[in-house]
Amino acid sequence: MRILVIEDTIALAKQLRDTLTAAGHAVDVALDGEQGLHLGETEPYDAAILDLGLPRIDGMTVLRRWREAARTMPVLILTARGSWAEKVDGLNAGADDYLAKPFEMAELVARLQALIRRAHGHAKPQIVCGPLRIDVAEQSVFVHATPVRLTALEFELLSVLAHHLGQPVSKTHLTEHLYHQDFDRDSNTLEVIVSRLRRKLGDGLIETLRGQGYRLAPP
């Protein structure tokens, strides 16, 4: 999944980027509210992490302007510990969840993954499609209860398809949600990943829909 991190503390921004990248996400980082607002309005993200105390444009203004522009990606706000008024204001402005600083990275990753799942209508961390079972939280995949080892990109592509279970997902959507902003996006790479997934998962699970993209089809 593709995540936007807006945090002006460079050390924390780097830690967030490294942690989320290690969890298999593509991550873009903005160090001020102006850049973050622009990225959130112009790039497709599965979720955003938004610090409220930002230079140039504060986080609350960024959030309100996103929601006014009908940007619906889940937003996890970062607040100062004990600042209950900021939490309430953020939730009222359209945030989906919050974390008070300092926080544990494992909790942030878990909350973020839960927000993404719920945004796609999946309450549980496991998504089942016939013999295929995907555990998003554990980043594990099973076919007929047999574990299947996937690379990070293979898992992410499968995860995007699983979150849109039964729906066609265009190649453009997949590349936009698999790679960060500066990555050299190549549709041929996408086709190679899909081909590898089919070999590992078995035929029939991932369908190619001419002119529409790919679909993880329930039986």
Q: How far apart are CA 142 and CA 128, in angstroms?
A: 10
For position 81, what pLDDT does the model report? 64
Same domain, 35 and 112: yes
What's the CATH code of the domain at 35? 3.40.50.2300
Q: What is the pLDDT of residues 71-119, one digit of tens each?
A: 999 999 998 766 778 888 888 999 999 998 899 999 999 999 999 988 8
How many distinct structural domains can be found in the chain?
2
C-alpha distances in Å from residue 70, one per residue of 24, 42, 62, 90: 27, 12, 12, 16
From the list 194, 153, 196, 148, the residue with the least C-alpha distance to 170 is 194
Contact call for residues 176 and 136 (beta carbons, < 8 A): no
Q: Range of 185's domain? A: 126-216
